[in-house]
Every structure is written in C-alpha cells, then in structure tokens.
Chain A
Amino acid sequence: MKQTMAWQADIGLEVHVQLRTRSKMFCGCPNKFGAEPNTHICPVCLGYPGALPVANAAAVRLTAMAGMLIDSEIKLYSKFDRKNYFYPDTSKNYQISQYDEPLCLGGHLDIVVSGESRRIGITRIHLEEDVAKNTHFDTNSGVDFNRAGTPLMEIVTEPDLHTPEETLAFLQALKQVLQYGAISDCNLEQGNIRCDINCSVRQIGATQLGTKIEIKNMNTFRGVFRALQHEIPRQIREIERGGTIVQETRRWDDAAGRTESMRGKEDAHDYRYFPEPDIPPVLLMERDVAQWRSELPELPAARRARFVEAYALPEYDAGVLIADKEVADYFESTVKAGAPAKAASNWIMTELLARVSEAGDSITTLRVTPASLAALLQLVEKKTINGTTAKEVLVVLLAEGGDPAAIVQQRGLAQVSDSGALEGFVSQVIAAHEKSVRDYQAGKQPAFEFLVGQIMRLSRGKANPQLARELLKKHLG
C-alpha cells in the first residue's frame, strides 16, 4: 500500500567564485579569461620542479571583504593546506586550498522568495587556486593551464535551502552582493561562478537530515534549478518505492535533463590534507581588517534604507536608484554637488534613466555629469530658470555637455523675475483677454490659470510663474 507523505528537501551549496584580481593566486601570471591556451603560464602555475607559490595579498583582501559582506567572522589566523589527488587538472597533483582554518567563518545572506524573507546560513569561505581546464578530443586530451592558479574562493552554505526557487534566489542574491562589492565579475559564461550541490530529502517533521547526494560541477544557475527540480522528486520516488538513498556523487546531464551517478562513497578520495609548508600562515592585523571594512561598499539593502533615511526619499525612489550601483553612485554624487535630493531623484529616474535605457548605455557614459545636473537643479531651485526651461537645458547638456549656467546665459533663458518687465506682460494679457478676466471675476478659477499660461507664453517660458500669479492677482483686484 502506497502512503502519501509530505517531504522536504534540504539543500546546501559549495559555490566557487573566481576573484577579480590582476594576477593569479600564487604567481604573477595575468588572471585573464579568453587567451590562447597555455599563454598565461609560468614555472609556478605549471608546477615545475623548484618553483614556489607566493600568496596573492589582493585575493586574501577580496575574500575577507566578501566575508564581511555576508557577515562572516574574519579570522586573523588562517592557513593554506595541500589537497592531494592525481588528475591532470592540477600541475602539482595537489591543489593549494584551506582545509581546517579558513579565512572566513560563519555568516548569512538574506533572500526573498514569494515576498517572504529567509536567512540562509553560511558555514565558511576559504581561498584556493582554480585548476586547469581539460578538453577531450577524439583520440587524446588537452590541458589548458591559463585557468590553473586563478584565485578562487569557495563559499559553503548550511543546508538551509529547501526548494529549487530558494536555491536560485540565493545564487542570484550572492551574485548581486559579490558584484556590488567588486569581489568578482560573476560572469557565468566565463565560469566565474561554479557550484556543487548537496541535496537530501526527509519527511516533514523529521529531525535528522536525509542521506545527502552531491551533484558536482554546475556552471549555470538554470542548470542548478533544473537539476534540483529533477533530483528532489527522484530521491522522494526512490524512498517511496521502498528504496534507500545511498551517499554518492552525481553529475547533471543537461541535455538529457537528469542526474546520473558518478561515484559512490567507497570511491571517495582520501585527499590526505596537510598544512602547505611552502606558504606561512596568513596573519592579518586588526588594523588591516578595519581598513578593509572601511573600504567596503554598502550593500543594496543597506543603501536603500540609508537613501530613505538620509535623503528623505520615498521607498520607491530608493529602490529604483539602488538597483544599479552606478545609478546609486550617480545620485549620491549629484546630491553631494549641491542638488536637492528629491529633485535629483526625480530627474534621474524620469529624464536620465529613460535616456540610458533608450541608448542601452551606462549612466556613467552620459554627457551630463552629476556636477552639471546639480548645477542645473540649483538654477531651478534659485528660480533662475523654471522647470520647463530646465528640460530644454538638459537636452543641450545631453547632446553637448557643458555648463548649465553658461547655456542659460548664452540662450537668454533666464527666468524673468523683474516685476517691471512682468507688469508689461500682465497688462497685455488682461487687455487681450477680456472674457477670461470677466470669467475669473465671476469666480471661475480655470480662467485664472489660462491667463497665467498666456503670460508664460508671452515671456517664452521665462516668466517666474510665482511672481506672475501674484502680479495678475493684484491687477485683477
């Protein structure tokens, strides 16, 4: 008799992220994707006899900063270890990694799925070297060592994820954080992020995790999602059929849309880890860590909150601005240059972002700089020009760049705030529109607005609208 039971999956990830450094982890070769095979190589990353590794300080810094971004504890003492195995993707037949004393311990990252926020635990982050890329041809195989020695950090999560959707959301959130922090380019096509999945299922309410299956070498987020969509029901079916899950390593066959067994537990490697004697332990000073923390870019969520708090922006505005780090930076620079915050936000969201998305450009490539936008908005604030004129000036700025005040002066666009000059316009309008004057005096407000509009037209948009209204009211008694 088949029973229907309620199941839940427990998913943990080991995410490998290539760091954005100039050189490789243990040598001076460029850390660069896409070169001819075996052109970014040297005796160190080829494991030649006598060559020694020297740890890349920038990679240590980036990994520590990644840890800070997800609230890890940064260990002042960590060390490298050798992970021993024979395979042609390592030049030394060991990989330099961190085993029992990683650089970052603990931490968490919040994700939002279906409107609900969940906190996913991070176990650790350790630093290691990427391996070479093997390519298999018909009769032989090739090894490209360009990738060998690329600085790679491995982020290990707790088994806190329960669905393919949550797992995808976690990977996307992680990617946003790492990009925001300039830790990694996170370019999936270039293999900047790859991960292994640990997945088990258990009956809801069971306190112990089920037997875990590892799915190795995932290199797309979509692949992770699909693999879990397949793997979770497969494990449930297996148990419901009366079978048991045996610990093993599987691989995802994307074309076939299923996972398949790679090796069982009995074939698991004994990596014979031991401390790397060629590299002294990494000893960080409190002041280095504090310095890095001060250089840490603000994360999207914190920045949104600060925009609301510090600039009195509506939640909506803050959300739009922080979605892209460059836009948020542009906004802050504009405000720093003297623009009123809400005006800056309005102008960026309506005028500039439309222009950016039209041109498919980055906001940083616009001719109008934060300083010139701020200058323009100050002209509006000081009533030198009105909003309509400001839009005209912006068109000039977007096309040619330049100084807004100079443009206003050259083109004679300054607002007329001189009551003598305005009185003339007011008298002309009253004389020309007797009917509207009568309508207004009969209590029809729209007639007043019409008359104001006529004054603006006569002044070719330069009249100070506030002053025009006051003068008109006075004349109409």
Chain B
Amino acid sequence: MIGAYLSIDREDALRQAHEADARRAHGESLPLLGVPVGVKDLLNVQGQPCTCASRMLEGYRSPFDATVVARLRAAGAIIVGRLNMDEFAMGSSTENSAFQRTRNPWNTGCVPGGSSGGSAAAVAGDLAYASLGSDTGGSIRQPASHCGCVGFKPTYGRVSRYGAVGYASSLDQIGPITKDTRDAALFLNVLAGADPHDSTTIATPPPDYLSALGRDLRGLKLGLPDEYFIKGMDSEVENTIRAAVEQCRALGAEIVPVSLPQTEYAIATYYVVATAEASANLARFDGIRYGLRTSSDDVIDLYEKSRSQGFGPEVKRRLILGAFVLSSGYYDAYYLRAQKVRRWIRNGFDEAFTKCDALLTPTSPTTAFRFGEHLDDPLKMYLSDIFTATVNLAGITAISLPCGFSSLGLPIGLQVIGPALGEETILRVAHAYEQSTEWHKRRPNLAAQG
C-alpha cells in the first residue's frame, strides 16, 4: 500500500536476522545488532540491485558494499531492502521514480516528499526501524518533514559517499531517517568517520553523538532568520514553527534575530551547481559496460538511444541544463557565477554563526502535497527545497524533526541548522525540544485510510 521498497531479498534478510539472533544469544552487543534497516536505492549493497529508481540500471547488481552499508553491517544491522526514490535523486516527491509510486503513510493521497521518499515512508509506516537517505538539496530533510520523521543531514565530508551513486558530488551527503532524535545520534555514531575510499571525508574523528543528548537549552543562542519566513508560505507551517521557537525559548534558549539575505539565491545557485556536476556524474550511464543497452551499429547512436530510453524526463531536463551551464561561452555566466554565490552563501552562514549557535527554520514551506500537484510545474517543485538547499551549498549540517501537524493531519518539520561539524549542537537542540513535546510519538493510522 505504501510502496516504499523497490527490492527486498527475503532470504537474505532472514539469513541476516537469524545470524543476529545467534549473535545475541551468544551475548554479543553491537549498537545496531538485529535492527532492520532499509537503504535508499542509490546505495550499493553487494549482490543486490541498485537501480536509482531508473530504467537505466534495471537489472544491475552491485559488485561491492557502499562504505555506509559496510558500517551498518559491522554495527549488526539487518539490511532489509532498497527504498524508492526520485530517479537518480532528482525530485522532491518520489514521483520521478521510473518504477512505482510511494505513498505518504499519513495520507496515502499525498506524496512522501523526496527524493528519499521511500526512506521516509518506510520509517513512518513502520516498514523499517530506520533508513538511510541521501541529501543533495534537502532530500533527507524534506521527506522526513512530510512523513513526520527525524531526518539528519551531516556536515559535508562527515559521512563517506563511497558506494552512493553520485548526483552532485560536492553537495551529496548520506544520513539517517529515524523515528526520533536519539536514534539519529545512534545511527550517526555508526555512519560518521573518515574513509580512505572517499577523499572528501573529514579526518577529525567524530565524537560520541549520544553524549550530546539530554541537556536543556540554557546558554544556547538560537538564530531566527527573517528570510525563512517568506510570503506565500503555508500559514499553518509558519504558526507551527513560531510555536516551536517559543518552546525552545521556554527551554532556556535565547532567541536572536539573524539575517541571511543570500537565501533567495539558493535555488538558482543549487540548480546550476547540482546539474553541472550531475551532467558529468551521469555520463557514465552509456550502455557500454553495464545497465540498459540498446542495439546499434554506431557508438554515438548507441549512446543516444540508451540514454534516451534509460533516463526519465526530469533527469534529462537536469542533464541538459547541466551541460549548458558548463558549455563554452556560458560557463562564466552560470557555473562560475554560481560558485561565487555559493561562497557568498557560505560566508553568510559563517557570519550568522558568530551571533548564534544554531538556526531554527521551517524544513519546507508546505506540508506534503497531493500526487500530481506539482508535476507539470518543475519550478514550483524546485521551491520545495528553498529552506534546505542552502545548507548543502554551505556544506554545513541540519536536522528536521516533527513539530506539529496541519489541520489535515499532515506532519510539519522544524529544521535546526548548525555550523560545519555542529552535529552535537543541533542534536542537543532537537533532543531537548523533542523530549518536551509529544509529536514524535504520533503514528499514522494506516488502517483508517483503507
């Protein structure tokens, strides 16, 4: 009914479960021993499919484990299956999957968000204890927000990308989607750390994130950026976020106004940087070595046919845009300019964090929308990421957690943004807020929806 999983290897999952039982029986103790986890279908799991929800990789089997998958295994987790997503992580509703629709467990007429929609829906629908997603412009936080889960986007380089099929290498980051903040810290403990196979990972050893939890907010300054409360945003979302801010004040935080004038340029910048990188990252899908292959006598024709048939419309749109912004004569006006704005955005956050320890914002300007509502209007779809993409451009960290529900019963997410390597601060804020509310304990009533 939810359609979260693209592939489940039942035998393999049961084998892992029996093994975990045996290890528990022997008194072994590992952080995730026997915990069933689903992973977004762009993470390589050795011997299993990895389709990225694309026809292009239908039938492909991973020859190796992604580093995060290997870390989950080492911590004792059971890899249940691979979760639906927007094709190659391009989208905000999971409607761009070439294979199936994933429904929002809170309202099956609504999208789960995206691109890690399967990952969020699986956790909300109790189809996995927790899941892994990837976040390039909000793809963990926005679906977590729409599905009433906790979504964590680590600092760029804190978690290895090795084995995660790249969309935009300088923005992509892997992170957990969980039922609460404590689980987010637990999973981060397992996932974070340097990886010799990913030279963009950070060498500094990660702290114990669990020890950041359990404190109130006294002594913390939390910034409230004006620019994140925009005209035309859902008033229910705005009111809910403002109530959450008051709750943080009640917990001892000092709320300070900050300004991030760069925010309005985030989406334009994001779509230049991300599509440019994607145009090269996805060039390898050409039908020569793996994946979908059409037949032709001519190699150029083979490329064209394979890619025309293998990629969906949104992927094609972004690849063409990416090739354009890098092309001779346009590079300076688009790609180079976007890089400059990106630096400006990073500087804006640096400045804001001289005035406060973390920022409080909405995760998304709306709650989950209905299927098809934004499909004909890519620009409107792109605005779903307006509050999240800046964080990826700056390479910093953020968490989304439930902070209320709309009158239609759809979850609303509060985003806490921290500076680079500020994971402990945002976990502390999120945990203190969460423990003072009941939102994270609510569960969707799937039976009532038929």
Contacts and interface: CB of A to CB of B under 8 A. Distances in A.
A54 B196 contact: yes
A280 B200 contact: yes
B57 A49 contact: yes
Which of the listed residues A49, A52, A93, A143 has the most CB atoms from chain B within 10 Å of its own CB? A49
A348 B365 CA distance: 85
B283 A86 contact: yes
Contact of B170 (A48, A87, A141, A277): A277
A193 to B, nearest CB: 28
Contacts of A53: 199
A279 B286 CA distance: 23
A278 B200 contact: yes
A52 B283 CA distance: 15
Nearest to A272: B326
B199 A84 contact: no
A88 interface: yes
A55 B199 CA distance: 8
Interface residues of B, number: 45
Nearest to A83: B280
Given A43-B64, A50-B44, A277-B169, A272 B323 contact: yes
A267 interface: no
A92 B283 contact: yes
A272 B335 CA distance: 11
A53 B63 CA distance: 17
A136 to B, nearest CB: 11
Interface in A1-36: none
Contact of B276 (A48, A51, A52, A274): A274
Interface string B43-87: 110000010100001001011101000000000000000000000
A50 B42 CA distance: 8
Contact of A49 (B44, B169, B197): B44
A49 B165 contact: yes
Given A50-B50, A50-B162, A86 B303 contact: yes
A448 interface: no
A50 B164 contact: yes
Nearest to B168: A277
A132 B43 CA distance: 27
B283 A84 contact: yes
B84 to A, nearest CB: 17
Interface in B270-284: 276-277, 279-280, 283-284
A143 B161 contact: no
Contacts of B42: 49-50
A141 B42 CA distance: 31
Contact of A270 (B43, B163, B284, B328): B328
Secondary structure of the A contact surface, majority rule:
loop
A250 interface: no
A93 to B, nearest CB: 4
A170 interface: no
A84 to B, nearest CB: 6
B288 A54 contact: no
Contacts, number: 100
Given A43-B64, A88-B299, A143-B288, A279 B166 contact: no
B283 A94 contact: yes
Interface in B164-199: 164-166, 168-170, 196-199
A93 B323 CA distance: 13
Contacts of B66: 50
Interface residues of A, number: 30
B409 to A, nearest CB: 38
B289 interface: yes
Interface string B252-296: 000000000000000000000000110110011110111000000
A297 interface: no
Interface string B298-325: 0110010000000000000000000100
A340 interface: no
Contacts of A51: 64, 162-163
B327 interface: yes
A272 B327 contact: yes
Interface in A268-285: 270, 272-274, 277-280
Nearest to A44: B197
Interface in B372-415: none
B284 A92 contact: yes
Contacts of A194: none
A91 to B, nearest CB: 7
Contact of A43 (B63, B288, B303): B63
Contact of B284 (A52, A91, A143, A274): A91
A82 interface: yes
* Most B CB within 10 A of own CB, among A43, A273, A278: A278
Contacts of B284: 47, 49, 91-93
A296 B170 CA distance: 37
Interface in A84-122: 84, 86-88, 91-94
Contact of B280 (A43, A88, A143, A274): A274
Contact of A277 (B52, B64, B277, B279): B277
Given A88-B299, A274-B326, A49 B52 contact: yes
Nearest to A26: B199
Interface in A61-94: 82, 84, 86-88, 91-94
15 contacts: A47-B284, A47-B289, A48-B63, A49-B57, A50-B164, A51-B163, A53-B199, A82-B280, A143-B288, A272-B280, A273-B326, A274-B276, A274-B335, A277-B168, A280-B199
Given A49-B285, A93-B284, 4 more contacts: A47-B284, A49-B42, A50-B66, A274-B280
